[in-house]
Structure 1
């Protein structure tokens, strides 16, 4: 006879990931807006470079400061949320994003924007690590489907962000910054009124907990892989806009297509792949295809074929959407620690890759050739695949959990 716990788990898995409490939808809506902020600035990168007389590597510091502060601040998210509560932490993160995105829009120098993006990154860290934990904790359809909902919010935000950024950016490069501020104010109101108080954990987190979590080989393996593949991800985000030869509207449409494919594959394709193939094999194949895609971008740049780069950028959404869902699901099961701590540890490492890669991509194009950032990004992604295969034994228990479901 099946145990009552097992029966409850099966009922959870059978329920649709759309059947969620209002509080989950409130957090998911805020996630959409938060992730819009990531892609909202993509269409205006060339405009900022032109109007503020900045180099590509200088403009790429908008991503570097944002990701660096986000990654480091991840280390304190567990400490803050375990003491102040999930709702207060989410609201604080959103409030910081509102303030610093507005200040970025009012700035008159590249240094000022980079600094305000760092403050934006602090708010982003408090929000995204806590939001994932909140969605998983409040969901009534099980961990896997809650993560799919989170990834869907991510994909929707990333896809709509550039579209809106292109429209606002065509008016002024300052428009997207003010747009984020207004949208996050709406998210603040949703969270404030719709998210009930969530009990604080019985045991408070410490600053050492994220580092202790990385002692678990499975979590460390996934973090290393994400660190390396983020070199490819942020080369696409921060450097590709310069070689496509498009204005703000055009870049907005390209990244909209990319994000739309990312959202669709993360929700509808990734779960099927997850059930049909092993975790390691699925991630390895998706990352290898992404590396090949980056090499195609390099070839398109050499051939002065913007259309090749455009198609390759949009296609990358397929591989990244599937990969993101697979890795995020695995992270939540990688170590016997609180989900928020696992998320913070993993995100700390991966965002460091996201901090280095945008600046390095700009510098490589200045030091060598326009296509060199894509080659380097593809190489780092392939090194990530090698690291995954070499350490695949550490992920066996996650495969067993998935097959048990």
Structure 2
């Protein structure tokens, strides 16, 4: 960085002090820039850094890049700055993954979850799970390694408590995985209901623009429409579908219903749209039964949206989120309900931390080892320490794997290849 500073700016810079300098390429001024030299290891990457702030012209930026390349620098690889920070101990791998998640976050909730991991939330939670296991393992090994010493046997109750404490912390992380995954990738939210319940109008209202064709004639929607949206901070894919009904006269309508049923199988959240302006009838009962049974079977979530409350004629006692696609009344409440069901704002801080499949698999296996160690205490009272210690060692290796300790070069390459250039 010092050589680069001399080449571009004609001088070395005092560390940690922003300075205005003329940046030159081949002796010609490119721009007057603000330059700051950061001396490692107390930098984001742990290495020396030269930070240059220029005017925003694309031509100026191109010239500065060319000047830096002429001086011996090279373009950064995808994720290279974050990888250097990891290699130099400024971030652990869980935090490094969080940088990539933050860059690609869709919605405020996903962004907040990534920031929590970047600030060390997941690493801290894993350390808290490791601590009782390490303490227990030390107690066991001192007895195994020094049988000649007159050390009292380890009380089974004490060991069981330590194992329960560690298992509880891991299971808390695992319990939030599905919500974390939905928050990261964006949940699929389908609008279902009987024909002419106002599903397409509700889609347009939630999007804030006219995306779906709206008509008073039942059965207007024949295809499945998908649109990205951010509702109350949660990134979702909204899906408009054909009305569910028992029998369809036309082939196109039958195909539309079949596609709606397939969409229902892929949604994390199903919004049952009900026409609140009229009494419920057989069509509504059929649609409710179809949605409710599928949601229950798949472990998804269902929200009832009582649409058309600007009109009269329906039951005021019906349960659901009362709203009007026409006037916008109640839409904020519906958005909040969808966001909560889709994995929006977590009800517990731990729910924000785990959303990576590989980490989830490692922690699931660790929890199984801990449960097996507890089973050893019950099955082999007074003789469980040897086998229990082996279980604890495996659990600790798995927890460390979730954090990224000892990750192979192939794993690191796969993680950092997802980053955009220079991050």
The answer to whether TM tops 0.5 is no
Relative contact order higher in (CA < 8 Å, ≥ 6 apart): 1
Q: Larger helix proportion, structure 1 or 2?
A: 1
TM-score (norm 1): 0.23
TM-score (norm 2): 0.23
